[in-house]
Structure 1
Amino acid sequence: MNVIHRRGWNMPESQATPEHLFFNRRDFLIGGATAIAASSFAAPASAQRVADAKDPTADLYPAKRNEMFTLDRPVTDEKLNGNFNNFYEFGMQKTIAEAAQALPIRPWTVKIDGMVEKEQTLDIDTLIRKVGIEERLYRHRCVEAWSMAVPWSGFPMAKLVAMAKPLGSAKYVRMETFMNPKVAGEQRKTWYPWPYVEGLTMAEAGNDLTFLVTGAYGHPLPKQHGAPLRLATPWKYGFKHIKSIVRFTFTDKRPVGYWEMLQSSEYGFWANVNPEVPHPRWSQASEEVIGTGERRPTLLFNGYGAQVADLYKGLEKTERLWA
């Protein structure tokens, strides 16, 4: 008999947020989601599905679910999230789904460089097929105090690290998104620190929870969510989840991320969820579950402490671990 030992952050699949809620966040929270869901959400979702048919890896979806990664709440409805996304290359507002469709995601290559045995450039489709994909249910907590639960498809970042063969002197992984001002209008604004950058320690990158995402809700990743490759670290605030990654650089220098460059007093390198440390402009003690109106107490490390707390032992008094 197979016995699945549930971890503290596990939840039954029956309680996962419904697929049709995942694509619109803040509009829902401010009370306009009902009307929006009935009208403006359908078109972008349909347009994305047409494009998905051309994805060379579409036959890999839906990926087999890894039952070690389940939830304590329903999966967020896919359609609610589809038109409510942070992707600042396409606009500072949340409704960027239509603009994001301009991003060409094939051909797409990923460069691995820096402190590695040998620099390499990988075709995204070759990479995906080589490492294989699985589905995981993750919940996420935004620094803006809302939360969601998503069925991501992808692979552990540890697999990419193993392929990269970093040198022992490498301490961090610096990730960089695309740079294409012709299709991403915000990148023409030179007062922002483009291209978008984020970083992880080698220990964070190798943690089992750290996931490189290629799909969601049983199909290839929509462009507004960071296709064809994005990051998911569920114990960190969502601004750490870099989208449309083109480069992984292994380095001994701590990367300074996009938001830290813009406003370091509010958005730090570590960005671990901690309900006891407020954002300078609002409390982080509770969160609103998108699509429900329900408020819940915020959990330390977003409830994933058993898997990640050891990464930060001894740093509490010397490092600012929270956003």
Structure 2
Amino acid sequence: MKRVWVGLLVVVFCIPASVFGQDLPSVGFPTLSSLTENVKVNPYAQVGFQWVGSNLNLPVQNEPLPVLPLNIGSLDISLKDANFWTGIAGITIIANDKYSLFGTAGGFLNRPFITSGTVPVSLDLISTSATLEFDNTNVESWFIQTGIGLGPVLFGLYWDHFAFVLGEPRNQNGPIANQTLRGDILTRTFAPFIGLTLPVSGAMLTVTYSPFAYSNTALALMNSQNNLSELRYTWKKPGDLLNASLQYNTPIASTYQFGIWCNYSWMRLRRNAELEFQNTPAPAISRTRDVTATMTKYILGGGVNVGINF
């Protein structure tokens, strides 16, 4: 059974590693057969609750009118009341108490939440700021993390995907009359990382950091006249991704353990980005330009953990 778990995790890890590390020099690691002679396998599952906060500041492409010098500023989007039940499954394999492989995948359960957005608009010397709130549904959120450990030092790769549908815009006076503005928002992130895992007062603390967090955000907005605007922001330089987790386990049988966990994750991107803009129906408009866009995000959560040791 241990050989099966080792083989499965090697496949999971080596698929991304083979893509991103084909030119790396070979290192004299022990063979798989020798490692399986002294292997500890720990598959585990976690459930809990996580709070998400995020802010996006995204310049909006608009076509100037031939007579009126209308200008639309940056769309500022904030998540409010965004909290989700979460589920995580993972496995850690330790060989000779020194080498390790790990893989983790998880996501949020769908639930409604609120997004607020502010759009500044100016016409000649007159300017105003429209502040709206949207109800958000159809949440799709998952992450995948794989890596290796050499003693307490970790190296790995991280991906995540967060998408939702927004609609029913309203301002402080209530729903906007005759307005059916709706849209889809999608953010994807990829980051290679390095980290440390250390024992702390009977618990295990893991901290990872990446200065190479690559991300892009796509918006598809439809108004009441069925005009579709698609905007895609791709940051040209990476940002920062920091994650810290603390886990405490206690044995409840010879091969089972139960514990609690907490986690904090923070990401920031404030760089030049490429904005791709398309507008339909005819006459279709397509533009590409450089902008300065900002995205910050944090996730704070905790819950319980159940694992098996063999």
TM-score bracket for this pair, using the shorter chain length: under 0.3
Q: Which has the higher contact order (CA 8 A, sep 6+)?
A: 1
Comparing both structures, which one devotes a greater share of its residues to helix? 1
TM-score by length of 2: 0.23
Q: Please say which structure displays the higher CA radius of gyration.
A: 2
TM-score by length of 1: 0.22
Comparing both structures, which one devotes a greater share of its residues to strand? 2
